[in-house]
Amino acid sequence: MDQIQHKTIKVNGIKMHVAEVGEGPAVLFIHGFPELWYTWRHQMLFMASKGYRAIAPDLRGFGDTEAPDSHTNYTAFYVVGDLVCLLDTLGLDKVYLVGHDWGAIISWYLCLFRPDRIKALVNMSVVYNPRNPSVKPVDYMRYIYGDDLYICRFQEIGWEKEFEKVDTKKLLASFYFKHVPTMPKLPKDFAKVFNPPPYTIPSWFTEKDLDYFASKYRTTGFRGPFNYYRCFDLNWEVCAAWTGAKIMVPVKFIVGDIDSTYNFPGIKDYIEKGGFKESVPGLEEVVVMKGVGHFLNQEKPQEINNHIYNFITKF
């Protein structure tokens, strides 16, 4: 970890924290929630050892990157804009791209808006969901799961204070180590009823890892990350011009079979019956990892390292 260098770069009007290691062709890693650049620690060191330059920013609103106040400053246009500006500042014309969770969503948008900047994409957990002009995303998710679905709950401005009332380490552990295929549901009085059993650190994580994530979230709170969820419907509105657009860059998709995103109604059929390939003509490989949960790049780092390396070396 001492090999990884850290810098702050001005991009798109904000100061962005960027971790970087290695020399060679660049691989840009995009994290999700509740994560940070640190989620890619294993992949960064591995790719650097293989002759690549691994770059992992904290997205706007996360970790040591600035967090604009308004949720309207977290649309796909802003976040993709940050990343394109980052590439420009680093003097990188095209990169390999790797995303997970919200990082996967942002990676899909980056490939949709600026495919000229991407050599190939390895995306994890969240499939590309083409825009459905007849229904807004949050309305659809509320119809499927109800108001207690975490995505619906996060729509409430100020609700992040509920998270900040509980112990940060226990909260993050309840997300990271919960190995079930169901979508998280959060009651309105979450802080009063949050009482998880004592967590046990799994073999693929350490107390030091948990301390790092917790220290950053204690400092920043959760408003920035929640603002991404508050832009689900706004992204749907501002991206109307991309209705029917497809992902054309070469893609490898990886998901765990215990990941809640894989078990969302209709997703397995979408992947297995051709819908995913139709929306993503560049899709070349799909890997479903058996017995693996949502945080697969941390749970199975060596397997993920090999999947990334074996795919991008083709391009």
Q: List residues with catalytic annotation.
A: 101, 229, 294
Strands of the sheet with 95-100, listed across from one edge: 5-11, 14-21, 53-57, 26-30, 95-100, 118-124, 251-256, 283-289
160 burial class (0-12, 13-18, 19+ CB within 10 angstroms)? middle
CB 120 within 8 A of CB 96: yes
What's the CA gap between 220 and 224, in Å, rounded? 8
Nearest 5°: phi and psi at 9? -125, 135
> Which residues make Cβ contacts (< 8 Å) with residue 302, sequence separation at least 6?
42, 46
Q: Sign of the CA dihedral 31, 33, 36, 38?
A: negative
Q: Which of 227, 143, 226 is nearest to 190 (CA)?
A: 226
Q: What is the DSSP letter of 71?
A: G
Quote helix, strand, coil % in the chain, to nearest 5. 45, 15, 40
> Which residues make Cβ contacts (< 8 Å) with residue 290, sequence separation at least 6?
257
